[in-house]
Amino acid sequence: MSSPQPSRTEPAPFQAELREYLAHLGVERGLSEHTLAAYRRDLTRYAAFLTARQRRHVAEVTETDVTDYVEALRTGSDGGHPLSAASTSRAVVAVRGWHRFATLEGRTDHDPAATVRPPSSVKRLPKAISVDEVDKLLAGASMAEGVLGLRDRALVEVLYGTGARISEAVGLDVDDVDLDRSTPSLRLFGKGRKERVVPMGRYAVEALEAHLVRARPALAQSGRGSAKVFLNQRGNPLSRQSAWAVLQAAAERGGVQAHISPHTLRHSYATHLLNGGADVRVVQELLGHASVTTTQIYTLVTPDTLREVYTASHPRARD
């Protein structure tokens, strides 16, 4: 009888090491299944690259191997699809994390990826929509029939009013909602199950109250007693995909021309806060960013703002 074939998803020489690292990310770091899947894809491609170079153990990997792999990601010279700078950066993060883990666990006495940096990418301004477009989106959400209009309005108000990620919003339990009129807030669980409490404004509070009192009980009758705030018509927790569809339908009904996604509302939340004078570190805490560097992209000024300031301030710009 022939011996079992190695996994086609993880090259045999690194199979055990990769699985150990992924288990660490899932159990110790608490990363989501979606994030773990991305790490698995990136590291499987990396392991295949190393195997093609006759590497059989993490201790045999050199810095040149790592830098050549980064180049292969950009060009596709390893037989895979060429990646953008942003996707390459994500893959390099996975590679660096694995080597750091292997070093700390004593699998090797050197870290070949320690000094390798991902390629720089062009920073793009996050796409935010105007306050008027937010109003149109909210109006469109309210146009849904019956109790769904109350639910959809509450969902949009929560996303825009708290800057919650879509996974955080659909993951809300009823016990995570505090509607105390003096300090209304939501308890959100972000990446790695990191908990934060964010305040809510009056509009979000009123929309959530209407949903919890008038809509959710009606939706829950068809389900099995889910504790989630947002339910579908069968009484089950609203999925990320269904929440996305809610936004698309609301945008269409409200006549919003801009592209709308859950992250559009998160971007708009941050941009409108900073435009209103909020400190970037406060916005960092509200968004649940681990580093203020991530939040600082929202402080980049737009070309229109540059032109306005130039026209108003430079002596040779005026007639």
Structural tokens at position 219? 């939706």
Rama region for 235: left / alpha / beta (φ>0; ψ in -120 to 50; rest): left
Q: Is 165 a catalytic residue?
A: yes
Select which of 99, 136, 153, 165 is catalytic: 165
Q: Please report the sign of the dihedral spanned by the C-alpha atoms of residue 82, residue 86, residue 90, residue 95.
A: positive
Phi, psi of 61 (to 5 degrees): -75, 135
The DSSP symbol for 296 reads G
| Beta-carbon contacts of residue 225 (< 8 Å; ≥ 6 apart) | none
What letter represents residue 106's amino acid? G
Mention every residue, 6+ apart, whose C-beta is less than 8 A from residue 92.
70, 73, 113, 116, 117, 118
The answer to whether residue 253 is catalytic is: no
Q: Catalytic residue, from 136, 151, 211, 266: name it.
A: 266
List the catalytic residue out of 21, 69, 160, 298: 298
Could you say which of 90, 107, 127, 191 is catalytic? Answer: 191
Is position 298 annotated as part of the catalytic site? yes
* Active-site residue identified among 263, 281, 307, 310: 263
Q: Which of 208, 220, 142, 224 is nearest to 176 (CA)?
A: 208
- Type of residue found at 48: A
Largest alpha-carbon pair distance within the chain?
89
- The rounded Cα 265 to chain-centroid distance in angstroms is 12
Q: State the burial class of residue 247 (Cβ atoms within 10 Å of its Cβ: 0-12, 13-18, 19+).
A: buried
Q: Per-residue b/e over 208-222, b at no fewer than 16 CB within 10 Å? A: bebbbeebbebbbee
User: Which residues are part of the catalytic machinery?
Assistant: 165, 191, 263, 266, 289, 298
